[in-house]
Structure 1
């Protein structure tokens, strides 16, 4: 009897799983991943200040190298044995090396520190008097590597927060001037009588989705002809459905999506944080045939529970990088 009940239960479960319908909550993981990006645009963006650690490390390497340089080399940077009469450029030391012009100030600073701060705590801590030839070579390699690095943007520590907010708003809402929680429907979605949901939710279509928020609409907004409510979870339910070429999500519907994401507690936006959130989203793309799909796909992204609520990445299997860039808002971020 128990075995018979077990078989009935398994059969019922298989019937449910293979019913070829999108079920409530089936896109919850994708909704959460999209929300991690969407809610960043609902607050002031404070980019992380640029770090100058690399420059300081480089200067320390130069100083350590200078401390074990031959006396004749170190003597070039001053007119005498004091630290008060520097040779500010190679020509002042009767040196004709045009390639040294850019590095001379750093060398001079290193020698100045060694003369003023004698003994120098960094030099003592490094124990360079006992440095092996291998270690000396590694230090030289580190200095060469730094010299080959392209310089940072000028005034990188003074990023315009307004520009960062505009970039996030453009990526999420499809417009730079969008206010938090007040998306404009025709900026988020291509709303026209000839634009089907399947077209809008395909990244390569002429009428494709226009912002990250439109991707959330493709995954979460119910179709009027479908009984699928809450595909992204209980908090995401709209008053009206998204009917092909007739009724599109309006501002109120899109506000429901934004508010379902909640707020972020992130006070300082780091590039590494944003990159991680984007990667979390992209890792949810599934491949079927030649294409990739974000969300639940059966045979299309039309919004019907029997077909799928998703975003289609045409040609994803063959070229993931270029296909991903077709997702609106991805490249600016």
Structure 2
């Protein structure tokens, strides 16, 4: 009797284990991972905005170039203007025999600056701005070297390529497009009907073919494709693997993905947000959570119905199989492309901090140089005024020191 009961108990345990390992899909099987999939799906419900915004690139210091040209010797300025048409200022062409690389690189800027100053009242305006209207030739001569150094410093800052963040980061439109493509395979926002060619990265087909890992379709390419496998049920099925309280199952057709009505059942358990604001940190947190949805078996990756190795959406698992996606016990970086793409977008957002800091640094330095340049004429004026006063005083002292015949009377 004891032997018989032991045999029965053993049979029950093994049967239970077998059923657990290869049981039919149950309602709510994938609820734990669906919250991460839903968060990813919601990224493309409305066009997201991003923080921080991109700081404008430091402007080219044209004002300082103009200032420098305005106090340059006349013969030097004349080189950059065609002399045969003085009525209409026209830039001179770079001399064919010019050998100096810096001159060749900056000729157009200098010529454009010379034309600007020779046009209308532009020269008068810049001189009024920098209090140069009453300066003497001697004062101009005295300040040239200082102004030149300020301008060259501004030019060096503007053209500096040694610091990081020299290339402007991806703008909002680029990141929005990449997010939509990671979610839906195309730039669509909360579409009611899914495009099988895009979400499956392959031809339309039934559940087992698309999700079982043995065909050319790759639903793991997109968030929507992944959700169809994890939350859907094969044709004729009635299970709701992502939410036991879901009103109606998301059924695939015999040879096609769920239609608009069935996809709508997914959206009832993953509501659309009214707006989405993303930072590098928030997107990285979402990616980190998304990486937990996968489990591995030998060299294969599975998403959903943990423990199952057959994804057919009904008798076996509601899951997505990605074959040959594990190497040396580690999931390959591109095993789930949409996760890799979102991670890349998070990195691009993080690059904005470096860029913004660099542009703020440059702009602050540029504004400081403008202030310094405006102070130079003032110093030159007072310096020469001091010299003039000192000379007058010295002349007076000399006269007072002389004794005339009249003084001796």
TM-score (ref. length: structure 2): 0.49
Residue by residue, what CA displacement relative to the aligned partner does 1:263-286 show, whole Å, maximum 9, x if unpaired?
Answer: 347642112212221221112211
**Cα distance in 2 for residues equivalent to 1:238 and 1:104:** 61
Q: Which residue of 2 aligns with 1:321?
A: 332
Asked whether the 8 Å contact 1:39–1:258 carries over to 2, the reply is: no
Q: Does 1:151 align with 2:160?
A: no
Q: Does 1:39 align with 2:54?
A: no
2:218 aligns with one of 198, 208, 230: 208
**Cα distance in 1 for residues equivalent to 2:168 and 2:227:** 34
Matches within 5 A, 1:56-71: none
Q: Does 1:175 align with 2:229?
A: no
Q: Which has the higher helix share?
A: 2
**Cα distance in 2 for residues equivalent to 1:289 and 1:263:** 37
For these two proteins, the number of residue pairs brought into alignment is: 242
Q: Which residue of 2 aligns with 1:220?
A: 231
Q: Which residue of 2 aligns with 1:288?
A: 297
* Range with bigger deviation, 41-50 or 266-275: 266-275
Q: Which residue of 1 aligns with 2:32?
A: 29
1:242 aligns with one of 252, 266, 283: 252
1:311 aligns with one of 320, 339, 344: 320
Q: Which residue of 2 aligns with 1:102?
A: 156
Deviation at 1:312, TM superposition (A): 1.6
Q: Which residue of 2 aligns with 1:49?
A: 52
Asked whether the 8 Å contact 1:324–1:330 carries over to 2, the reply is: no
Deviation at 1:243, TM superposition (A): 4.8
2:241 aligns with one of 212, 231, 243: 231
**Cα distance in 2 for residues equivalent to 1:282 and 1:202:** 20
Asked whether the 8 Å contact 1:37–1:274 carries over to 2, the reply is: no
Q: Does 1:253 align with 2:307?
A: no
Asked whether the 8 Å contact 2:207–2:234 carries over to 1, the reply is: no
Asked whether the 8 Å contact 1:242–1:249 carries over to 2, the reply is: yes
**Cα distance in 2 for residues equivalent to 1:17 and 1:266:** 46
**Cα distance in 2 for residues equivalent to 1:14 and 1:257:** 36
Q: Which residue of 1 aligns with 2:150?
A: 88
Structure 1, unmatched stretches of 5+, are 1-10, 56-78, 93-99, 107-145
Asked whether the 8 Å contact 1:199–1:208 carries over to 2, the reply is: no
Structure 1 residues 13, 34: CA separation in 2 closer, same or farther (over 3 Å shift)? Answer: farther
Asked whether the 8 Å contact 1:38–1:258 carries over to 2, the reply is: no
Asked whether the 8 Å contact 2:334–2:340 carries over to 1, the reply is: no
Deviation at 1:205, TM superposition (A): 4.1
Structure 1 residues 203, 39: CA separation in 2 closer, same or farther (over 3 Å shift)? Answer: farther
**Cα distance in 1 for residues equivalent to 2:234 and 2:212:** 17
Deviation at 1:80, TM superposition (A): 8.7
SS at match of 1:87: helix
Structure 1 residues 274, 328: CA separation in 2 closer, same or farther (over 3 Å shift)? Answer: closer
Q: Which residue of 2 aligns with 1:184?
A: 194
Residue by residue, what CA displacement relative to the aligned partner does 1:273-315 show, whole Å, maximum 9, x if unpaired?
Answer: 12221221112211111111111152311112x3211112222
Asked whether the 8 Å contact 1:220–1:236 carries over to 2, the reply is: no
Tell me the C-alpha RMSD between the 2 structures: 4.1
Asked whether the 8 Å contact 2:192–2:260 carries over to 1, the reply is: yes
Deviation at 1:198, TM superposition (A): 3.3
**Cα distance in 1 for residues equivalent to 2:260 and 2:29:** 24
SS at match of 1:312: strand
TM-score (ref. length: structure 1): 0.58
**Cα distance in 2 for residues equivalent to 1:47 and 1:204:** 39
